[in-house]
């Protein structure tokens, strides 16, 4: 299982938006449940990092607007 960050993120978003179960996701991508858990865990961490950057940017923008 060698996926780059973009692939992991895309797979996580695909699971998040389109699957009701990890079993169907694993079946679709032909992954074991252990591989699926790893892919989703890494994808979730990437998404969390993106969310933090967005929040920090919004806070910075809000502070800038507050002092304008």
How much is the pLDDT for 56?
84
Query: What is the predicted pLDDT for the residue at 48?
Result: 97
Whole-number pLDDT of residue 7: 98
Q: Other C-beta atoms within 10 Å of 62: how many? A: 9
pLDDT in tens, 4-56: 999 999 999 999 999 999 999 999 999 999 999 999 999 999 999 999 989 88
Q: How far apart are CA 9 and CA 6, in angstroms?
A: 5
**Confidence check: pLDDT of 62 > 70:** no
Q: According to the model, what pLDDT value does residue 68 have? A: 55
């Amino acid at each position: 299982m060698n996926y780059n960050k973009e692939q992991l993120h895309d797979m996580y978003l695909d699971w998040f938006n389109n699957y009701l179960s990890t079993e169907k996701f694993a079946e679709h991508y032909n992954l074991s449940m252990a591989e699926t858990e790893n892919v989703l865990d890494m994808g979730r961490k990437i998404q969390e990092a993106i969310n933090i950057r967005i929040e920090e940017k919004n806070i910075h923008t809000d502070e800038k607007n507050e002092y304008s």
